[in-house]
Amino acid sequence: MSSMRISSRAVGLVAGVALDAAIGDPRRGHPVAAFGRVASALEKKVYGDSRPRGVVYAGSLVGGAFAGGLLVERAVKGRPLVRAGVTAVATWAVLGGTSLGREGRVMRGFLEEGDLVAARGRLGHLCARDPAGLGADELARATVESIAENTSDASIAPLVWGAVAGVPGLVAYRAANTLDAMVGYRNARYERFGWASARLDDLVNWVPARVTGVVAVMCAPRGRRGEAWRVLRRDGASHPSPNAGRCEAAFAGALDVRLGGANAYGGQVEKRPELGDGRSPEVGDIRRAVGLSRRVTVVSAMLCALVASVRKG
């Protein structure tokens, strides 16, 4: 192990995390936004209320992203410094951890000021929950849950796929996750067409969500690791999502709060199982959740860099 050489992929992943921490997402010209425009244009051409059309749609876009990443990696093969730089830029482009933390801090600021109107208006930046009528504590719960779930989607999953498959893995993962956010809904328009995108997102997040849960236990405050592990094992599978529950349960145990309950989406109320045995989240818990998310990202980046070096990527 002591003679293991750090790979260009590992250097690029860590550098990308540092870039995201330093500058966050660009205000204009974000590559993910450009992909979203391409996806919207293709949807207009191929949409149909059927699963096969949705499979073609998702397969074309995610497969195209993977192929593009593969061409880029082949173009820089044999040039480790350039490859590290390209990996760093790709990692920075697909990560969203800094923006996630920023949104959490914005929500905390509104709630600390008592500006519920502004907080309700901002909630859509974090999740699709209906904000109407939510009080400060319910908005705080929604924010903590979103930070927990999106720590995996925004940070850990890209790093896992980057460690395993380099630039192709990074861009293909973000493509799949973006499509789920665009069409992966159970409504009249997308229940069939968006089925493939939603299932693909579940698949590519299966391992990263569990990595997020375990690393959240590792990063829990002193004295909370045992409880975080217990809650993760007991409650992680009770969430309707095959992945989100692992992240939320680990955060609930680590922060000593109770997540879950009644949530409204599109005018329909969903009663979700409660995760954890602590008190209901309060505004101050948003800061703690953001801090835990940051620690999970840093530790996961180190672990993914290690994996990338072992794989000699």
In a domain, 78, yes or no: yes
| Residues 81, 232: Cα–Cα separation, whole Å | 40
Q: How far apart, in Å, are the Cα atoms of 132 and each of 105, 159, 311? A: 21, 35, 49
Angle between helices 195-218 and 51-75 (to 10 degrees): 60
Mean pLDDT of the chain: 94
Residue 2 lies in a domain: no
Give the pair of three-digit tokens for residue 101: 């933390």
What pLDDT, in 10s, does the model give residues 203-258?
999 999 999 999 999 999 999 999 999 999 999 999 999 999 999 999 999 999 99
How many folded domains does the chain comprise?
A: 1
Report the share of the chain in percent with pLDDT over 90: 86
- The pLDDT tens digits of the residues spanning 150-175 come to 999 999 999 999 999 999 999 999 99
Q: Which domain holds residue 252?
A: 8-310
Give the CB-side neighbour count of residue 111, counting CA atoms within 13 A: 26
Any domain includes 3: no
User: Looking at the domain assignment, is residue 99 inside a domain?
Assistant: yes
Least confident among 109-113, 140-144, 226-230, 263-267? 263-267
0.75 surpassed by pTM: yes
